[in-house]
Protein backbone atom coordinates (compact mmCIF):
# COMPACT_ATOMS: atom_id res chain seq x y z
CA UNK A 1 0.00 0.00 0.00
CA UNK A 2 2.84 2.37 0.88
CA UNK A 3 4.50 1.58 -2.47
CA UNK A 4 1.24 2.24 -4.28
CA UNK A 5 0.85 5.57 -2.50
CA UNK A 6 4.41 6.52 -3.39
CA UNK A 7 3.82 5.81 -7.05
CA UNK A 8 0.59 7.79 -7.19
CA UNK A 9 2.26 10.55 -5.28
CA UNK A 10 5.05 10.71 -7.81
CA UNK A 11 2.70 10.84 -10.74
CA UNK A 12 0.30 13.33 -9.22
CA UNK A 13 2.17 15.20 -6.54
CA UNK A 14 5.35 15.94 -8.42
CA UNK A 15 3.56 17.04 -11.54
CA UNK A 16 1.32 19.20 -9.45
CA UNK A 17 4.36 20.72 -7.80
CA UNK A 18 5.87 21.72 -11.10
CA UNK A 19 2.51 22.82 -12.50
CA UNK A 20 3.29 21.42 -15.93
CA UNK A 21 0.31 19.29 -16.79
CA UNK A 22 -3.36 20.06 -16.87
CA UNK A 23 -4.90 17.34 -19.00
CA UNK A 24 -8.38 15.93 -18.40
CA UNK A 25 -6.98 12.46 -17.75
CA UNK A 26 -4.66 13.76 -15.05
CA UNK A 27 -7.52 15.64 -13.44
CA UNK A 28 -9.64 12.49 -13.41
CA UNK A 29 -6.75 10.54 -11.94
CA UNK A 30 -6.25 13.24 -9.33
CA UNK A 31 -9.94 13.13 -8.46
CA UNK A 32 -9.88 9.37 -8.15
CA UNK A 33 -6.74 9.50 -6.03
CA UNK A 34 -8.27 12.12 -3.78
CA UNK A 35 -11.37 10.01 -3.29
CA UNK A 36 -9.68 6.66 -2.78
CA UNK A 37 -6.35 7.30 -1.11
CA UNK A 38 -4.98 9.12 1.86
CA UNK A 39 -1.73 10.70 3.00
CA UNK A 40 0.59 12.30 0.49
CA UNK A 41 -1.32 10.96 -2.50
CA UNK A 42 -4.50 12.65 -1.36
CA UNK A 43 -2.75 15.90 -0.54
CA UNK A 44 -0.90 15.85 -3.85
CA UNK A 45 -4.10 15.21 -5.74
CA UNK A 46 -5.89 18.02 -3.94
CA UNK A 47 -3.04 20.40 -4.62
CA UNK A 48 -3.02 19.42 -8.27
CA UNK A 49 -6.73 20.09 -8.58
CA UNK A 50 -6.38 23.46 -6.89
CA UNK A 51 -3.34 24.52 -8.87
CA UNK A 52 -4.94 23.67 -12.12
CA UNK A 53 -7.68 26.25 -11.46
CA UNK A 54 -6.13 29.21 -9.77
CA UNK A 55 -3.00 30.12 -7.83
CA UNK A 56 -5.06 31.97 -5.27
CA UNK A 57 -6.60 28.64 -4.30
CA UNK A 58 -3.16 27.55 -3.15
CA UNK A 59 -3.02 30.44 -0.68
CA UNK A 60 -6.42 29.46 0.71
CA UNK A 61 -5.25 25.87 0.88
CA UNK A 62 -2.16 26.89 2.84
CA UNK A 63 -4.35 28.75 5.31
CA UNK A 64 -6.56 25.68 5.60
CA UNK A 65 -3.46 23.59 6.10
CA UNK A 66 -2.21 25.84 8.91
CA UNK A 67 -5.60 25.49 10.50
CA UNK A 68 -5.37 21.74 10.18
CA UNK A 69 -1.91 21.63 11.71
CA UNK A 70 -3.22 23.71 14.60
CA UNK A 71 -5.95 21.14 15.06
CA UNK A 72 -3.42 18.36 14.97
CA UNK A 73 -4.50 16.91 11.62
CA UNK A 74 -1.05 15.75 10.66
CA UNK A 75 -2.51 13.26 8.26
CA UNK A 76 -3.03 15.82 5.51
CA UNK A 77 -0.23 18.21 6.43
CA UNK A 78 2.47 15.57 6.03
CA UNK A 79 1.08 14.78 2.65
CA UNK A 80 1.17 18.43 1.64
CA UNK A 81 4.79 18.86 2.64
CA UNK A 82 5.77 15.87 0.59
CA UNK A 83 3.74 17.00 -2.38
CA UNK A 84 5.47 20.36 -2.28
CA UNK A 85 8.90 18.83 -2.22
CA UNK A 86 8.04 16.14 -4.75
CA UNK A 87 9.37 13.59 -2.35
CA UNK A 88 9.12 10.08 -3.80
CA UNK A 89 8.56 8.24 -0.51
CA UNK A 90 5.37 8.71 1.43
CA UNK A 91 5.46 8.13 5.15
CA UNK A 92 2.60 6.16 6.57
CA UNK A 93 -0.17 8.30 8.01
CA UNK A 94 0.55 9.12 11.58
CA UNK A 95 -2.01 8.43 14.23
CA UNK A 96 -2.05 7.73 17.90
CA UNK A 97 -1.44 4.01 17.40
CA UNK A 98 1.76 4.54 15.45
CA UNK A 99 3.20 7.11 17.80
CA UNK A 100 4.90 4.33 19.75
CA UNK A 101 6.47 2.71 16.70
CA UNK A 102 9.99 4.19 17.04
CA UNK A 103 10.18 2.96 20.63
CA UNK A 104 9.22 -0.56 19.63
CA UNK A 105 11.65 -0.48 16.75
CA UNK A 106 14.54 0.59 18.92
CA UNK A 107 13.86 -2.31 21.25
CA UNK A 108 13.96 -4.66 18.31
CA UNK A 109 17.16 -3.23 16.90
CA UNK A 110 18.85 -3.59 20.28
CA UNK A 111 17.88 -7.24 20.18
CA UNK A 112 20.09 -7.55 17.07
CA UNK A 113 17.56 -9.05 14.72
CA UNK A 114 18.71 -10.06 11.29
CA UNK A 115 16.12 -8.00 9.41
CA UNK A 116 13.80 -5.12 10.07
CA UNK A 117 10.76 -6.25 11.98
CA UNK A 118 7.22 -6.12 10.67
CA UNK A 119 4.73 -3.69 12.09
CA UNK A 120 2.81 -4.75 15.11
CA UNK A 121 -0.66 -6.09 14.76
CA UNK A 122 -2.82 -3.03 15.50
CA UNK A 123 -4.82 -4.80 18.19
CA UNK A 124 -1.58 -5.83 19.93
CA UNK A 125 -0.15 -2.36 19.69
CA UNK A 126 -3.35 -0.83 20.91
CA UNK A 127 -3.19 -3.06 23.96
CA UNK A 128 0.46 -2.18 24.48
CA UNK A 129 -0.17 1.55 24.33
CA UNK A 130 -3.12 1.31 26.65
CA UNK A 131 -1.00 -0.46 29.25
CA UNK A 132 1.59 2.30 29.34
CA UNK A 133 4.38 2.11 31.87
CA UNK A 134 3.70 -1.54 32.37
CA UNK A 135 6.81 -3.57 31.63
CA UNK A 136 8.83 -4.22 28.51
CA UNK A 137 8.27 -6.13 25.30
CA UNK A 138 9.73 -9.57 24.91
CA UNK A 139 10.14 -10.54 21.29
CA UNK A 140 11.80 -13.89 20.91
CA UNK A 141 11.60 -13.90 17.12
CA UNK A 142 14.25 -13.05 14.52
CA UNK A 143 11.77 -12.29 11.72
CA UNK A 144 13.68 -14.03 8.96
CA UNK A 145 12.48 -13.55 5.35
CA UNK A 146 8.98 -14.91 4.93
CA UNK A 147 8.29 -14.87 8.67
CA UNK A 148 4.65 -14.30 9.46
CA UNK A 149 5.35 -13.67 13.12
CA UNK A 150 3.51 -16.81 14.05
CA UNK A 151 5.20 -16.93 17.49
CA UNK A 152 3.95 -20.45 18.03
CA UNK A 153 3.83 -23.93 16.60
CA UNK A 154 6.39 -25.64 14.43
CA UNK A 155 8.11 -23.55 11.79
CA UNK A 156 11.01 -24.33 9.46
CA UNK A 157 12.32 -20.75 9.27
CA UNK A 158 14.36 -20.94 12.46
CA UNK A 159 12.99 -17.61 13.65
CA UNK A 160 12.28 -18.50 17.20
CA UNK A 161 15.02 -17.54 19.62
CA UNK A 162 13.51 -19.82 22.24
CA UNK A 163 14.03 -22.92 20.13
CA UNK A 164 16.86 -24.77 21.86
CA UNK A 165 17.63 -26.86 18.77
CA UNK A 166 18.25 -23.96 16.42
CA UNK A 167 19.65 -21.58 19.00
CA UNK A 168 21.93 -23.82 21.03
CA UNK A 169 22.33 -27.41 19.89
CA UNK A 170 22.92 -27.07 16.14
CA UNK A 171 25.39 -24.12 16.40
CA UNK A 172 27.30 -26.06 19.08
CA UNK A 173 27.39 -29.18 16.91
CA UNK A 174 28.65 -27.15 13.95
CA UNK A 175 31.35 -25.45 15.98
CA UNK A 176 32.61 -28.23 18.24
CA UNK A 177 31.46 -31.40 16.53
CA UNK A 178 29.11 -34.03 17.90
CA UNK A 179 26.92 -36.86 16.76
CA UNK A 180 23.18 -36.69 17.25
CA UNK A 181 21.11 -39.87 17.40
CA UNK A 182 17.52 -39.09 16.60
CA UNK A 183 14.64 -41.44 17.45
CA UNK A 184 16.76 -42.91 20.22
CA UNK A 185 15.04 -43.88 23.44
CA UNK A 186 17.09 -44.01 26.62
CA UNK A 187 15.88 -46.82 28.84
CA UNK A 188 18.38 -46.85 31.71
CA UNK A 189 21.37 -45.09 33.22
CA UNK A 190 24.15 -47.50 34.08
CA UNK A 191 26.02 -46.56 37.19
CA UNK A 192 28.52 -47.58 39.82
CA UNK A 193 27.69 -46.65 43.41
CA UNK A 194 28.85 -43.04 42.97
CA UNK A 195 29.33 -42.59 39.21
CA UNK A 196 27.22 -42.90 36.11
CA UNK A 197 29.08 -44.98 33.56
CA UNK A 198 26.78 -44.80 30.55
CA UNK A 199 23.28 -45.11 29.21
CA UNK A 200 21.33 -47.96 27.71
CA UNK A 201 19.21 -46.95 24.75
CA UNK A 202 17.24 -48.35 21.84
CA UNK A 203 18.13 -46.93 18.44
CA UNK A 204 16.56 -48.22 15.23
CA UNK A 205 15.45 -51.34 17.05
CA UNK A 206 18.90 -52.13 18.43
CA UNK A 207 19.81 -51.90 22.08
CA UNK A 208 23.01 -49.97 22.64
CA UNK A 209 25.26 -49.07 25.54
CA UNK A 210 26.88 -45.65 25.28
CA UNK A 211 29.48 -44.75 27.86
CA UNK A 212 30.74 -41.31 28.78
CA UNK A 213 32.64 -39.31 31.34
CA UNK A 214 29.66 -37.08 32.01
CA UNK A 215 25.97 -37.88 31.54
CA UNK A 216 23.58 -34.97 31.05
CA UNK A 217 19.80 -35.39 31.22
CA UNK A 218 18.04 -32.74 29.20
CA UNK A 219 14.92 -34.50 28.00
CA UNK A 220 12.47 -32.36 29.91
CA UNK A 221 10.66 -32.88 33.18
CA UNK A 222 8.85 -36.18 33.60
CA UNK A 223 5.39 -36.31 32.12
CA UNK A 224 3.45 -39.56 32.00
CA UNK A 225 2.62 -40.87 28.54
CA UNK B 1 4.86 -28.36 39.22
CA UNK B 2 3.02 -26.87 36.32
CA UNK B 3 1.86 -23.41 35.36
CA UNK B 4 -1.72 -22.29 35.42
CA UNK B 5 -2.71 -20.29 32.37
CA UNK B 6 -5.89 -18.45 31.56
CA UNK B 7 -6.57 -17.45 27.99
CA UNK B 8 -8.03 -13.96 27.85
CA UNK B 9 -9.48 -12.37 24.72
CA UNK B 10 -8.83 -8.64 24.65
CA UNK B 11 -11.06 -6.62 22.36
CA UNK B 12 -10.13 -3.02 21.55
CA UNK B 13 -12.80 -0.34 21.82
CA UNK B 14 -12.54 0.52 18.15
CA UNK B 15 -12.21 -1.44 14.95
CA UNK B 16 -8.64 -1.85 13.84
CA UNK B 17 -7.36 -3.10 10.49
CA UNK B 18 -6.78 -6.81 10.42
CA UNK B 19 -3.23 -7.90 9.72
CA UNK B 20 -1.78 -11.36 9.62
CA UNK B 21 1.58 -10.52 11.11
CA UNK B 22 1.84 -10.08 14.82
CA UNK B 23 4.37 -9.71 17.60
CA UNK B 24 4.38 -11.16 21.04
CA UNK B 25 4.19 -8.80 23.94
CA UNK B 26 4.52 -9.71 27.58
CA UNK B 27 3.93 -7.74 30.74
CA UNK B 28 5.54 -8.45 34.07
CA UNK B 29 3.67 -5.80 36.04
CA UNK B 30 1.73 -8.43 37.89
CA UNK B 31 4.65 -10.74 38.63
CA UNK B 32 4.56 -9.62 42.24
CA UNK B 33 1.40 -7.62 42.82
CA UNK B 34 0.58 -6.21 46.24
CA UNK B 35 3.01 -8.67 47.77
CA UNK B 36 1.41 -11.67 46.06
CA UNK B 37 3.24 -13.71 43.41
CA UNK B 38 1.08 -13.84 40.31
CA UNK B 39 2.97 -14.14 37.04
CA UNK B 40 3.29 -12.73 33.56
CA UNK B 41 0.74 -11.80 30.92
CA UNK B 42 1.69 -12.47 27.31
CA UNK B 43 0.13 -12.60 23.88
CA UNK B 44 -0.40 -15.97 22.21
CA UNK B 45 -0.92 -16.89 18.56
CA UNK B 46 -4.57 -18.01 18.28
CA UNK B 47 -6.86 -15.63 16.44
CA UNK B 48 -10.49 -15.67 17.35
CA UNK B 49 -12.91 -16.97 14.79
CA UNK B 50 -16.17 -18.88 14.98
CA UNK B 51 -14.43 -22.23 15.31
CA UNK B 52 -12.44 -21.01 18.28
CA UNK B 53 -15.60 -19.60 19.84
CA UNK B 54 -17.45 -22.86 19.25
CA UNK B 55 -14.64 -24.77 20.94
CA UNK B 56 -14.85 -22.34 23.86
CA UNK B 57 -18.60 -22.83 24.20
CA UNK B 58 -18.32 -26.60 24.04
CA UNK B 59 -15.49 -26.88 26.54
CA UNK B 60 -16.62 -24.25 29.01
CA UNK B 61 -20.39 -24.72 28.96
CA UNK B 62 -20.07 -28.44 28.39
CA UNK B 63 -18.48 -28.83 31.83
CA UNK B 64 -20.91 -26.48 33.56
CA UNK B 65 -23.18 -28.40 35.94
CA UNK B 66 -26.17 -26.07 35.43
CA UNK B 67 -28.78 -28.15 33.58
CA UNK B 68 -30.39 -25.33 31.66
CA UNK B 69 -27.15 -24.64 29.78
CA UNK B 70 -27.62 -27.94 27.97
CA UNK B 71 -30.75 -26.44 26.37
CA UNK B 72 -28.47 -23.98 24.59
CA UNK B 73 -26.44 -26.74 22.97
CA UNK B 74 -28.27 -26.69 19.60
CA UNK B 75 -27.61 -22.95 19.37
CA UNK B 76 -23.86 -23.16 19.97
CA UNK B 77 -22.99 -22.83 16.29
CA UNK B 78 -24.99 -19.64 15.56
CA UNK B 79 -23.80 -18.24 18.90
CA UNK B 80 -20.23 -19.04 17.92
CA UNK B 81 -20.63 -17.30 14.56
CA UNK B 82 -21.95 -14.14 16.24
CA UNK B 83 -19.33 -14.32 18.97
CA UNK B 84 -16.53 -14.95 16.50
CA UNK B 85 -17.61 -11.93 14.45
CA UNK B 86 -17.84 -9.72 17.54
CA UNK B 87 -14.36 -10.71 18.71
CA UNK B 88 -12.74 -10.90 15.26
CA UNK B 89 -10.37 -8.03 16.08
CA UNK B 90 -9.54 -9.33 19.53
CA UNK B 91 -6.09 -10.54 20.54
CA UNK B 92 -5.69 -13.52 22.80
CA UNK B 93 -3.40 -13.24 25.80
CA UNK B 94 -2.41 -15.87 28.33
CA UNK B 95 -1.51 -15.59 31.96
CA UNK B 96 1.36 -17.64 33.34
CA UNK B 97 0.87 -18.02 37.08
CA UNK B 98 3.62 -19.35 39.30
CA UNK B 99 2.99 -22.70 40.93
CA UNK B 100 4.78 -23.25 44.22
CA UNK B 101 6.32 -26.54 45.38
CA UNK B 102 4.22 -28.77 47.60
CA UNK B 103 5.37 -32.08 49.02
CA UNK B 104 2.17 -33.81 47.97
CA UNK B 105 2.68 -32.86 44.31
CA UNK B 106 5.33 -35.35 43.28
CA UNK B 107 6.47 -38.32 41.20
CA UNK B 108 5.65 -41.66 42.79
CA UNK B 109 7.27 -44.98 41.92
CA UNK B 110 4.55 -47.38 40.87
CA UNK B 111 5.29 -50.73 39.25
CA UNK B 112 1.81 -50.87 37.74
CA UNK B 113 2.27 -47.63 35.78
CA UNK B 114 3.98 -47.16 32.45
CA UNK B 115 7.70 -46.47 33.01
CA UNK B 116 7.16 -47.53 36.62
CA UNK B 117 6.23 -44.00 37.64
CA UNK B 118 3.18 -41.80 38.01
CA UNK B 119 2.64 -38.36 39.39
CA UNK B 120 0.10 -36.93 41.76
CA UNK B 121 -1.05 -33.35 41.62
CA UNK B 122 -3.56 -31.44 43.72
CA UNK B 123 -4.67 -27.97 42.76
CA UNK B 124 -3.75 -25.87 45.80
CA UNK B 125 -6.38 -23.52 47.20
CA UNK B 126 -3.96 -20.63 47.38
CA UNK B 127 -3.11 -21.13 43.69
CA UNK B 128 -6.81 -20.99 42.89
CA UNK B 129 -7.08 -17.74 44.82
CA UNK B 130 -4.07 -16.24 43.04
CA UNK B 131 -5.59 -17.17 39.69
CA UNK B 132 -8.83 -15.44 40.60
CA UNK B 133 -6.91 -12.38 41.73
CA UNK B 134 -4.86 -12.28 38.51
CA UNK B 135 -7.98 -12.50 36.33
CA UNK B 136 -9.65 -9.75 38.30
CA UNK B 137 -6.65 -7.42 38.21
CA UNK B 138 -6.02 -7.94 34.50
CA UNK B 139 -9.62 -7.22 33.57
CA UNK B 140 -9.54 -4.17 35.83
CA UNK B 141 -6.30 -2.88 34.26
CA UNK B 142 -7.65 -3.25 30.73
CA UNK B 143 -10.88 -1.41 31.41
CA UNK B 144 -12.45 0.75 30.11
CA UNK B 145 -10.81 0.87 26.68
CA UNK B 146 -10.27 -2.84 26.29
CA UNK B 147 -12.87 -5.46 26.95
CA UNK B 148 -11.44 -8.70 28.29
CA UNK B 149 -13.14 -12.07 28.41
CA UNK B 150 -11.59 -15.03 30.21
CA UNK B 151 -11.83 -18.02 27.88
CA UNK B 152 -10.72 -20.78 30.21
CA UNK B 153 -12.45 -22.48 33.09
CA UNK B 154 -11.11 -22.79 36.61
CA UNK B 155 -9.19 -25.94 35.74
CA UNK B 156 -6.46 -24.14 33.84
CA UNK B 157 -3.41 -26.31 34.43
CA UNK B 158 -0.82 -25.85 31.69
CA UNK B 159 0.69 -29.28 31.09
CA UNK B 160 3.09 -27.85 28.50
CA UNK B 161 5.21 -26.38 31.29
CA UNK B 162 5.89 -29.32 33.56
CA UNK B 163 8.87 -28.68 35.79
CA UNK B 164 10.48 -29.28 39.17
CA UNK B 165 10.64 -33.07 39.15
CA UNK B 166 14.39 -32.98 40.06
CA UNK B 167 14.60 -29.81 42.12
CA UNK B 168 17.96 -28.31 42.92
CA UNK B 169 18.97 -27.38 46.42
CA UNK B 170 22.14 -27.19 48.45
CA UNK B 171 20.47 -29.44 50.99
CA UNK B 172 20.06 -33.03 49.70
CA UNK B 173 16.87 -33.29 51.76
CA UNK B 174 15.18 -30.57 49.70
CA UNK B 175 16.45 -31.45 46.26
CA UNK B 176 18.30 -34.13 44.32
CA UNK B 177 20.62 -31.72 42.48
CA UNK B 178 23.23 -29.31 43.78
CA UNK B 179 23.56 -25.70 42.67
CA UNK B 180 25.44 -26.76 39.53
CA UNK B 181 22.61 -29.14 38.59
CA UNK B 182 24.77 -32.15 39.45
CA UNK B 183 23.17 -35.07 41.27
CA UNK B 184 24.07 -35.07 44.95
CA UNK B 185 24.84 -38.78 44.98
CA UNK B 186 26.38 -39.18 41.51
CA UNK B 187 29.37 -37.05 40.65
CA UNK B 188 29.06 -37.07 36.86
CA UNK B 189 25.30 -36.95 36.34
CA UNK B 190 23.71 -33.61 35.46
CA UNK B 191 20.07 -32.60 34.84
CA UNK B 192 19.70 -29.38 32.88
CA UNK B 193 16.10 -29.26 31.70
CA UNK B 194 13.05 -27.81 33.46
CA UNK B 195 13.30 -30.50 36.13
CA UNK B 196 15.68 -28.44 38.24
CA UNK B 197 13.20 -25.58 38.85
CA UNK B 198 12.65 -25.05 42.58
CA UNK B 199 9.36 -23.33 41.74
CA UNK B 200 7.66 -23.05 38.38
CA UNK B 201 8.30 -19.26 38.10
CA UNK B 202 5.72 -17.03 36.52
CA UNK B 203 7.16 -16.80 33.03
CA UNK B 204 7.59 -18.98 29.99
CA UNK B 205 10.44 -21.29 31.06
CA UNK B 206 12.32 -21.79 27.75
CA UNK B 207 14.87 -19.01 28.02
CA UNK B 208 15.51 -19.71 31.72
CA UNK B 209 16.27 -23.33 30.85
CA UNK B 210 18.63 -22.26 28.06
CA UNK B 211 20.42 -19.69 30.26
CA UNK B 212 20.87 -22.23 33.04
CA UNK B 213 22.16 -24.83 30.56
CA UNK B 214 24.86 -22.40 29.44
CA UNK B 215 25.80 -21.80 33.07
CA UNK B 216 25.94 -25.53 33.83
CA UNK B 217 27.97 -26.20 30.68
CA UNK B 218 30.83 -24.20 32.20
CA UNK B 219 30.71 -26.39 35.27
CA UNK B 220 30.75 -29.54 33.16
CA UNK B 221 33.62 -28.15 31.13
CA UNK B 222 35.58 -27.57 34.32
CA UNK B 223 34.86 -31.11 35.47
CA UNK B 224 35.96 -32.58 32.15
CA UNK B 225 39.13 -30.49 32.41
CA UNK B 226 39.85 -31.99 35.81
CA UNK B 227 39.34 -35.49 34.36
CA UNK B 228 41.81 -34.69 31.59
CA UNK B 229 44.35 -33.41 34.11
CA UNK B 230 43.98 -36.53 36.22
CA UNK B 231 44.56 -38.86 33.26
CA UNK B 232 47.71 -37.07 32.07
Within a domain: residue B170?
Answer: yes
Given B126, B161, B196, which residue is the final one in a domain? B161
Q: Please give, rounded to a whole number of angstroms, the shortest distance from the CA of A167 to a CA of chain B.
A: 9
- From the list B24, B145, B163, which residue is nearest A151 (CB)? B24
Contact B188 A123 (CB under 8 A): no
**In terms of domains, do B157 and B95 share one?**
yes
**In terms of domains, do B204 and B101 share one?**
no
Given B161, B176, B202, which residue is the final one in a domain? B161
Contact B195 A222 (CB under 8 A): yes
Q: What is the pLDDT of residue A147?
A: 64
| pLDDT per position as a tens digit, B173-216 | 889 999 999 999 998 999 999 999 999 888 888 888 888 988 99
Is the pLDDT confidence value at A8 over 60? no
Kindly indicate whether the ipTM for this predicted assembly is greater than 0.90, answering yes or no: no
The mean pLDDT value for A37-61 works out to 54
**In terms of domains, do B194 and B155 share one?**
no
- Report yes or no: B182 at the A interface, CB cutoff 8 Å: no
Within a domain: residue B44?
Answer: yes
Among A29-33, A148-152, A172-176, the range scoring the smallest mean pLDDT is A148-152
| pLDDT per position as a tens digit, A122-172 | 665 565 555 443 433 445 566 677 665 555 556 677 776 667 777 778 888
Chain A neighbors of B192, CB-CB under 8 A? 216-218
Within a domain: residue B14?
Answer: yes
**In terms of domains, do B117 and B194 share one?**
no
Q: Which of A214, A215, A219, A220 to mutate to test the interface with B (most CBs of B within 10 A)?
A: A214
Q: What is the pLDDT of residue B153?
A: 74
**In terms of domains, do B104 and B36 share one?**
yes
Percent of the residues in chain B that have a pLDDT greater than 70, as a whole number: 91
**Contact between B85 and B63 (Cβ < 8 Å):** no
Domains held by chain B: number: 2
Q: What is the pLDDT of residue A207?
A: 94
| pLDDT per position as a tens digit, B28-71 | 888 888 889 899 998 886 678 788 788 778 877 766 777 787 78
Which range, A29-38, A71-80, B71-80, has the best average confidence (pLDDT)?
A: B71-80
Q: What is the pLDDT of residue B191?
A: 94
Strand partners, A186: A201
Q: Please give, rounded to a whole number of angstroms, the shortest distance from the CA of A78 to a CA of chain B.
A: 22
Rounded to the nearest integer, the mean pLDDT of chain A is 58
Is the pLDDT confidence value at B98 over 50? yes
Query: Is A157 or B102 the better-scoring residue by pLDDT?
Result: B102
Is the pLDDT confidence value at B7 over 70? yes
**In terms of domains, do B140 and B173 share one?**
no
Q: Please give, rounded to a whole number of angstroms, the shortest distance from the CA of B191 to a CA of chain A.
A: 5
Which range, A113-117, A146-150, B71-75, B93-97, has the best average confidence (pLDDT)?
A: B93-97
**In terms of domains, do B26 and B93 share one?**
yes
**In terms of domains, do B17 and B125 share one?**
yes
Within a domain: residue B11?
Answer: yes
Is the pLDDT confidence value at A104 over 70? no
Within a domain: residue B82?
Answer: no
- From the list B142, B206, B224, which residue is nearest A213 (CB)? B224
**In terms of domains, do B138 and B188 share one?**
no
- Residues A206 and A202: their CA atoms lie apart, in Å, by 5
Query: Is B132 or A137 the better-scoring residue by pLDDT?
Result: B132
Q: What is the pLDDT of residue A115?
A: 42
Query: Cα B111 to the chain's mean position, in Å?
Result: 30
Where in the sequence is the domain holding B39, given as residue range(s)?
3-48+87-161
- From the list A162, A194, A213, which residue is nearest B207 (CB)? A162
Within a domain: residue B75?
Answer: no
Is the pLDDT confidence value at B157 over 60? yes
Is the pLDDT confidence value at A89 over 60? no
Among A25-34, A50-59, B168-177, the range scoring the smallest mean pLDDT is A50-59
Q: What is the pLDDT of residue A214?
A: 92
**In terms of domains, do B121 and B31 share one?**
yes
**In terms of domains, do B112 and B41 share one?**
yes
Given B114, B131, B161, which residue is the final one in a domain? B161
Within a domain: residue B72?
Answer: no
- From the list B16, B25, B220, which residue is nearest A214 (CB)? B220
| pLDDT per position as a tens digit, A188-207 | 999 988 899 999 999 989 99
Q: What is the pLDDT of residue A52?
A: 52
Within a domain: residue B70?
Answer: no
Tally of CA atoms within 13 A in the half-sphere of B2 that contains its CB = 19
**Contact between B131 and B6 (Cβ < 8 Å):** yes
Element (H, E) at B167: none
**In terms of domains, do B103 and B152 share one?**
yes
Amino acid sequence: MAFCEAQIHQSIGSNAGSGLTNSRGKQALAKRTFMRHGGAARAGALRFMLLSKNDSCLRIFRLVNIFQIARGLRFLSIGLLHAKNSHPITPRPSNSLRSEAPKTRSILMKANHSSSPPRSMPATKHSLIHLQNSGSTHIACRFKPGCEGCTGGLCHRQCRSGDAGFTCVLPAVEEYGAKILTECEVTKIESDPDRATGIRCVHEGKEMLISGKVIVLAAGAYMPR
Amino acid sequence: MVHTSDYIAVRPDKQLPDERRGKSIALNDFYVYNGVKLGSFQSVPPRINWRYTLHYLRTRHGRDPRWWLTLLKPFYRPMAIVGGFYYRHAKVFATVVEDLPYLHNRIILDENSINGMRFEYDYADELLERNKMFRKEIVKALKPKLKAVVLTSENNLNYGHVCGTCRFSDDPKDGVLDRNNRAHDTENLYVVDASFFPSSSGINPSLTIAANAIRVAESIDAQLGSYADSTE
